[in-house]
Structure 1
């Protein structure tokens, strides 16, 4: 027998073995699936049997109670979210109010400084004007004295 013939015959034998192995695998898969279906059916039958023992009214009552508890929980969560949003909003308002208060305080301080500056300037101006007024009054007194002296001289000269 030639090498080629040996290889062909070995390949054919290998293909046959592979086909048999695939058939075995398929057979075991079918058995496993059938057994799994039987197990599932048995579990369902046990659950149905247990359900039959339980009173339908009790089951409905439990479901209703579960629904009410879940609903109450949802309502409480929603209320908590609302309260958290309100708290955040109030905190933001407080921060904004604090900032506005600080700005107002800064503006008021600036106003007071400007007011003090204007007061000092007004006092200086009033002092200067008072000094000028006193000087004018002194000058008027001097001039009045001079006028009186001249009148007195004039009246002496007339006599």
Structure 2
């Protein structure tokens, strides 16, 4: 699938460690998050490479000009009620150029093929995540709640998109 100079390729086309490497790059400015989440990110990367059939249904790597610039992934286990977006990651060199927004549009389009009642995503409330929060609002998501978790980025914002309906 292509959109405005982007190509979305199956995760299995890329070597193990690609997703982890992109997450490490994207979060390089918040080392406390890397320290907290690196083990989970490594397990996430391994899971998608150990189960390529799941990776093909629940994510993709975004390529621009032949270079991987990011990836999106989602968790459909709560269908038909909802799908949770797990990552919408863009590496630092490509941030601020609209790649995250276009990548999210493609992910939402693919998620809608499974007919969820809603699509949910959460991100941090700190200034580092302001571009992501703006992007989710621009993509049609509505803020539905704020919550705190035991994590270096404790304050979180959750957004919901209700396909064809009014978002809560």
Name the TM-score, length of structure 1 as normaliser: 0.13
Rg bigger for which structure?
Answer: 1
The structure carrying a bigger helix percent of its residues is: 1
Structure with greater proportional strand content: 2
TM-score by length of 2: 0.13
